[in-house]
Structure 1
Amino acid sequence: MNGSLHSRPRLVDINLNRGPAGLGFNIIGGIDQQFVRNDNGVYVSKIKEGGSAALDGRLEEGDKILAINGVSLENRYHSDVVELFRSAGENVHLRVMKKVAGNISDLSNGPATSKPDRQPSSSTLGMLALFAGAVSIIVIVALYKRLK
């Protein structure tokens, strides 16, 4: 079907070694932070330059993470997913569904391969990414303090 909306999603298994700055990417999504319309999945929102994910090169912004170390991320709260990543160990196995160009129109505020025609979409995406990053930092700090 050559890139049509009915293209089969491509699944990829990626093994990453946790570096000094973690795995080198940020996530967004979950039941409480739906990123894609009608989808509670977890997505890569940012790849950090020089991090493990960037050095590996296979993980991209907009990819959907289906599982970590064999544990499904389907229908989980964002904070639960953050905890799974935090406790995943040094060698992390990810099951990823690569973003499909035909599915970009399904994104409510998700990453796009080109600039959006409307300015509000990009500013909304920026605010959403900023909010997700702030929530992630708060969760990590709270977990760190609880473990001390």
Structure 2
Amino acid sequence: MNGAMHSPPTVLDIKLKRGPAGLGFNIVGGLDQQYVMDDSGIYVAKIKENGAAALDGRLQEGDKILAINGHKLENLTHSAAVELFRSAGEDVQLLVQQRPLASMNGPSKARSDSDSSVFTLGLVGFVAAAAVLALLYMRFQPRIRRHF
């Protein structure tokens, strides 16, 4: 095993009040526009700043919306899902499966390949500079003449 822990996805019941800009998020997915391979679900694509969803704070980009006002969103085309959202009324109840967070061993933020390359080049440059300075010092070091 690699140490990754698998836990069941978190499902939330979120109630939003439609504001002047609607519910404040965009959706993707559906039978005809799969967002995730082999999954025709409806997903949150973008949370609009200062919209109802952003102000509530629980809905996140990448979350899967399972139902709206009790209507399941499985096996619907994208346009059928959009129509359910448009006709949902002012008070909207969403059943949402939060996107899984990637779990991994080690530090929470891995160093990117470009960071590693820069670090390696810096280290090689430092060692090369030290070697050149050592050679120059030995070459031009004043000779101490001792008289006995």
SS in 2 for 1:100: coil
Counterparts of 2:76 and 2:102, CA distance in 1: 25
**1:21 matches 2:21:** yes
Higher helix proportion? 1
**1:86 matches 2:55:** no
User: 2:131 maps to which residue?
Assistant: none
Counterparts of 1:75 and 1:62, CA distance in 2: 18
Q: Once the two structures are superposed, what CA deviation does each residue of 1:80-127 show, in whole Å capped at 9, x if it has no partner?
A: 000000000000000000001249xxxxxxxxxx9xx9xxxxxxxxxx
With over 3 angstroms needed to count, the CA separation of the structure-2 counterparts of 1:100 and 1:7, relative to structure 1, is: same
SS in 1 for 2:9: coil
Over aligned residue pairs, what C-alpha RMSD do you find?
2.2
TM-score (norm 1): 0.66
TM-score (norm 2): 0.66
Structure 1 residue runs of 5 or longer lacking an equivalent are 104-113, 118-148
- Alignment-mate amino acid for residue 76 of structure 1: L
Displaced runs of 4 or more, over 4 A: none
User: 1:101 maps to which residue?
Assistant: 101
- How many residue pairs get aligned? The number is 104
Counterparts of 2:21 and 2:32, CA distance in 1: 26
Query: Which one has a bigger Cα radius of gyration?
Result: 2
User: 1:33 maps to which residue?
Assistant: 33
User: 1:48 maps to which residue?
Assistant: 48
Q: Once the two structures are superposed, what CA deviation does each residue of 1:8-61 show, in whole Å capped at 9, x if it has no partner?
A: 010000000000010000000000000001100000000000000000000000
- Alignment-mate amino acid for residue 22 of structure 1: G
